[in-house]
Amino acid sequence: MQTQGKDRAHGHAHDHRIQMTGNLLDGQGRLREAGFACAPPFLYNREDIAAPAWRIKDWDYYLVNDDDFALALTFSDLGYLGLVSASVMDFAARTFKTTSEVVPFTFGSFRLPRRSSRGDISWSNSRCRVEWHHVGAGGQARRLSFRMARFDGDSDLEAELYLDREPADSMVIATPWTEDPAAFYYNQKIIGMRARGGFRAGGLFHEFEASDALGLLDWGRGVWTYENTWYWAAAQGYQDGRLIGLNLGYGFGDTSAASENMAFVDGVCHKLHLIDFGIPCRADGTYDYLAPWHMTDDEGRLDLVFTPQIDRTDNIDVANVIVSKQHQVFGLLTGKIVLDDGSELRVRDLRGSAEHICNRY
């Protein structure tokens, strides 16, 4: 490799690391600087956005998993509708259940926080209750309380979760769209928080133990173009006594300034460049999501086989105007990652998910 490890620690040679701080957008509602960071450099202000309210997309997505179950919770304000969603994945049975509550014409009324590190969510309607709060000294921990009636038939879902030990580094990216100067995506993914708590879904009760359960947050704010496709993978787990995390993705916006690809070892980020998920195709050209994927990068630093177990599919179609086709595949990752110092990290059966999502909204 041409770039030495001591230089790589400050960011990938081909990826621009954000230097500015302050407001995310300038006076014309455009990104002040595109690129990546390992901690949030900007403040997101909805009032600075140049696009109309119905185009603004804000969401918080949490996922907690151990080797037996995963629980995913989403609270999102997508402009002309809000979405409160929950998913339970059973890895042993290789089954999943997803249920969503659609709230029309939210236009920012969900009031999601401007920062991931502070600001709480407290919202309810006749079916759902969402209470997500920063707690503990300095608000360094997160308490998530969630309830959805009729999650599975007549059975309700209730969850109480506690996340702490947020890693030192996270994935932060500020992405524009070349075709629309008012469009942008400001995203942080915090991977590998310690998790404990549990959930009850009908007759199922599962407890997450702090010794082996981990949580992640996908925190996104922005204005998108109408039609988008993205690929995103995240993984977290303990390997040989070390906490390992992965965030991989592409396809969303103009990522020429920087990709979102990172590996994390004990909370420290290692920047990767361009990734391909290597999803196998059938004879008719469609993806075979449940066959093994071969994930690689453009520099020989990542070579992983992803063995799928569950394809969590979810399709939304409202009058062919609001359309979302989702494949979020859960499984195990095995292979190698070359870290910034040139050392090789081997992972085996690292639990994670990889998704391919097409949206029009």
pLDDT confidence of residue 12? 66
Share of the chain above pLDDT 70, in %: 96
pLDDT band for position 323 (cuts 50, 70, 90): confident
The per-residue pLDDT of the chain, averaged, comes to 94
> Stretch 95-123: mean pLDDT, rounded?
96
> Stretch 283-292: mean pLDDT, rounded?
96
Residue pair 57/222 in contact (Cβ under 8 Å)? The answer is yes
pLDDT confidence of residue 11? 56
pLDDT confidence of residue 2? 30
Rounded to two decimals, the pTM is 0.95
> Stretch 318-333: mean pLDDT, rounded?
88
Residues 6+ apart with CB under 8 A from 14: 273
For 343, how many CA atoms within 13 A lie in the half-sphere containing its CB?
A: 7
Residues 6+ apart with CB under 8 A from 18: 33, 34, 35, 36, 37, 41, 42, 172, 174
pLDDT confidence of residue 14? 84
Residue 3 has pLDDT above 70, yes or no: no
Residue 9 has pLDDT above 70, yes or no: no
Residue pair 133/75 in contact (Cβ under 8 Å)? The answer is no
